[in-house]
Amino acid sequence: MSLQLTATVDERGVEVDLEIGEGETLAILGPNGAGKSTVLAVAAGLLRPDRGRVVLEGRELTGPGTWVPPHDRRVALLAQEPLLFPHLGVLDNVAFGPRSNGASRRTSHEAARRWLGEVDAADLADRRPRQLSGGQGQRVAVARALAAEPRLLLLDEPLSALDVAVLPALRQTLKRVLAGRTTVLVTHDVLDALLLADRVVVMEDGRVAEAGPTAEVLERPRSAFAARIAGLNMVAGTWRDGAVEGIRGIASEPAPAEGDPVVAVFRPSAVSVFTSSPGGSPRNALAVTVTDLEPRGDQVRVRAGHLAADLTVQAAAELDLVPGARVVFAVKASEVAVYRR
């Protein structure tokens, strides 16, 4: 393993145990306050845990009696804002890392130009940070981080503050430069995880709620947060009499046994909404209270707590849906996937 991190931070209620393979990108997902940024701070040496170890490529950085300061860890942290040195030009900003490691001015500038080229920002070399747009500044920040030749790259929601128009190009840049580089990426965006990460860890309340290959976690979520960002409804409970919390579905193999903890997952588009319990073909019928209505183009997402249904605007109007309305969400058993938690 390239990185092994075990940390307990009592004050923040965080207790995690992570391993990252060499050249792997791990995405950490989770709601605000879940402990994601705390993990990055521990890895970077900005926060000393109450208990735990950080080992990078066999070198102990944090441990009982061991503490390597941030500048000596060969770890680069890139935050939401570029945080470029305002008194330096772009070229000297990127050259800062090599220069700090003892490279000559000429060598560090050569490295800086090479990395600016890698992130499609070579034409920005002679500008000042105040002359850059948000997307340009973040490209320069990526180049500066990589020019220091870090053993570990930490990205703390690097795209969250950018205009939506620049996101696709910068995501492709990151995908290219992160290939083969050991990286931890904190993000709220499912696209970041899908395009950039090999594996995903979902944190909730300071703990790892689930982990696995990115596509698997997002296709078969086992935590409420992962289900939400994947756009799925999820009901967790115990498998009793062929159902979970009264919801029947198609159980994956091997089939759960009586009493197993399981989740039932289904798409909002598979949910029909009625003012009273429907008859006809067998359906799961859930009495709910509408909590919110979200316009989505020619559709409306009807939220009822942690569940959602997608309706046409016309259907929502005909049902006279408003927050507080009592309705029935109905979904066919064939549309519900059930698997062990």
Residue 281 sits in a domain whose CATH number is 2.40.50.100
Same-domain check for residues 214 and 243: no
Q: What is the mean pLDDT of residues 322-339?
A: 94
Ranking 3-7, 162-166, 295-299, 337-341 by mean pLDDT, the lowest is 162-166
Asked whether 250 and 338 are in contact (CB, 8 A), the reply is yes
| CB-based contact 290:327 (threshold 8 Å) | yes
User: Are residues 142 and 277 part of one domain?
Assistant: no
Looking at residue 58, which CATH number applies to its domain? 3.40.50.300
**Per-residue pLDDT tens over the stretch 51-83:** 999 999 999 999 999 999 999 999 999 888 888
Q: How many domains does the chain have?
A: 2
Query: Crossing angle of helices 90-100/134-147, nearest 10°?
Result: 20
Question: How large is the average pLDDT for residues 269-298?
Answer: 88
User: What pLDDT was estimated at residue 272?
Assistant: 93
Q: Which of 251, 275, 280, 276 is nearest to 263 (CA)?
A: 251
257 and 199 in one domain?
no
The encoded tokens of residue 300 equal: 């409306």
Q: What is the mean pLDDT of residues 280-301?
A: 88
Query: What does each C-alpha distance from 244 to 93, 96, 113, 264, 288 come to in angstroms?
Result: 56, 57, 58, 7, 17
CA separation for the pair 138, 254 (Å, rounded): 47
**Is-contact 42 66, C-beta < 8 A?**
no
* Per-residue model confidence as pLDDT tens digits over 207-219: 999 999 999 998 8
The band of 166, judged by pLDDT with boundaries at 50, 70 and 90, is confident
The pLDDT value given to residue 181: 93
pLDDT averaged over the chain?
Answer: 92
Tell me the pTM: 0.86
Do 146 and 166 lie in a common domain? yes
**Domain end point (choices 224, 241, 264):** 224
DSSP for residue 257: P
Tell me: do 192 and 308 sit in the same domain: no
The whole-number average pLDDT for the span 32-40 is 94
157 lies in the same domain as 276: no
* 140 & 280 share domain: no
**Residues 97 and 144 reside in one and the same domain:** yes
Percent pLDDT > 90 in the chain is 76
Residue 170 banded pLDDT, cuts 50, 70, 90? confident
Task: Tell whether 157 and 198 lie within a shared domain.
Answer: yes
Q: Which domain holds residue 100?
A: 3-224
Do 45 and 170 belong to one domain?
yes
Backbone angles phi and psi of 38, in degrees to 5 = -65, -40
Residues 152 and 282 in one domain: no
User: 148: Cβ–Cβ under 8 A, 6 or more apart, which residues?
Assistant: 74, 76, 96, 97, 98, 100, 101
In a shared domain, residues 288 and 328: yes
> Of 192, 208, 224, which marks where a domain is finished?
224
Residue 27 makes CB contacts below 8 A (sequence gap 6+) with: 185, 186, 187, 192, 193, 196, 197, 199, 200, 201, 214
End position of a domain, from candidates 193, 224, 255:
224
